[in-house]
Amino acid sequence: MKKILLLGVFSFLAFSLVVGAGYKVGDKAADFKLQNVDGKYVSLADFDDARGFIVVFTCNGCPYAKAYQDRIIALDKKYKAKGYPVVAINPNDVDLRSEDKLEGMKKRSDEKGFTFPYLKDAKYEVYKTYGATRTPQIYVLEKDGGELVVKYIGTIDDNYQDASAVKEAYLANAVDALLAGNDPDPNSTKAIGCTIKQK
Amino acid sequence: MRFGVINITGLVIIWLLSSYTHKHQPKVLTFDDFEPHLHLQNDTTYLVNFWASWCTPCVKELPAFERIGEEYRHQKVKVLLVSLDFPKQIESRLLPFLENNKIHSEVLVLNDPDANKWIDKVDPAWSGSIPATLIYQMGDRTFREGVYTYEELKQIVEQKIK
């Protein structure tokens, strides 16, 4: 009985450590260099004119992620012009999900007409550094001097089923707040999504 | 007159369909209607599993829950499978899945798109990915975001029913 309890405490601690490893709002975010569907490598440092970024962890198979990809395109078109381009990252292990290989990503990007880079987290490190657990999951970063600061973590809006029934556009509101010089409120939201697939 | 006949035939067909589907169709609940299932105050141990038929790790894990439900059917243990399948796919996907996999545990569909409003009410540790499972007997609650094995489930159930 005591052993079970101890085991419980240990797994809770381990779990907390894993969860605690990612970014929280206010943390400084690291740049990355990942391969895009066009074969080129992309870093956030390449975007000289950006005021910040909408970093989207997404993939090819998850119905929730797919349900949001049209909305992500619309958000990119709207906010790229205002200095907040979308950068999408696919973190799924390709041994478990062959459709998430770069070829499959290119196909998805072409079919949907992605207007933003769709990068492969080939070493499965970036999503861990960020602390992403599911697809889709968003991190809004703001440039502050030479740093990137996490300003919002969470979901896109309050209705994955129907874009026309959205009442709270959490992500758009967060970026609008930043553009107006304010901090997003809420700065963190949760949503149902697919576990990032890793061995 | 003809309109009346068509109308009545239509009503009979609707009635037949609804009585048929009523038997086979899981309840579809909003979070407010579902929430009492997370706080039942009796001596039963509840295993509440959040899943969807399109979620590969969830589907792999289901047999473990089915096995627990079967093994403890004479004890105060109950498995509740809370499906997050899209409401549009209940007929086309969820029902055939339940049929083909001969799922015996109780299934209900949680249809409440603004999950940000309710995920913390299941457990604050939940980030929102599935599978996720709450095992509880009154105030004794164990939550996990991720997959359980049969052995792990059995160990937790044994601990709670003591």
Query: Looking at residues B110-129, what average pLDDT do you find?
Result: 97
d(CA B9, CA B2): 11
The per-residue pLDDT string of chain A (199 residues; one tens digit each, 9 = 90 and over) reads: 555 555 555 554 444 444 457 999 999 999 999 999 999 999 999 999 999 999 999 999 999 999 999 999 999 999 999 999 999 999 999 999 999 999 999 999 999 999 999 999 999 999 999 999 999 999 999 999 989 999 999 999 999 999 999 999 999 999 999 999 999 999 999 999 999 988 8
Contacts for A25-28 with beta carbons within 8 Å, 24 or more apart?
A: A25/A150, A25/A151, A25/A152, A25/A153, A25/A187, A25/A188, A26/A149, A26/A150, A27/A149, A27/A150, A28/A147, A28/A148, A28/A149, A28/A150
Q: Is the preceding peptide bond at A184 cis, omega within 30 degrees of 0?
A: no
Nearest to A150 by CA among A38, A56, A52: A52
Considering only CB atoms, B113 lies closest to which of A159, A170, A197, namely A159
The beta-carbon neighbor of A158 closest among B57, B114, B126 is B114
Distance from CA of A80 to the nearest CA of B (A): 26
Contact predicate A119/A101, CB 8 Å: no
Distance (Å) from the alpha carbon of A161 to chain B's nearest alpha carbon: 7
Q: Which domains does chain B have, with CATH numbers?
A: 26-161 (3.40.30.10)
Do B115 and A190 make contact, defined as CB atoms within 8 angstroms? Answer: yes
Q: Say what percent of chain A tops pLDDT 70.
A: 90
Cβ neighbours of residue B19 closer than 8 Å, sequence gap 6 or more: none
DSSP string, B101-152: TT--SEEEEE--S-GGGTHHHH-TT--SEE-EEEEEETTEEEEEES---HHH
Nearest CB to A190; choose among B88, B113, B119: B119
A158–B127 C-beta distance less than 8 A: no
Judged by a CB distance cut-off of 8 A, whether residue B76 touches chain A is no
ipTM rounded to 2 decimals: 0.83
CB B82 within 8 A of CB B108: yes
Instruction: Compare all CA atoms of chain A with the CA of B123 and give the residue at the minimum distance.
Output: A190
Q: What is the pLDDT of residue A199?
A: 83
Which residue ranges form the domains of chain A, and what is each CATH number?
A: 24-195 (3.40.30.10)
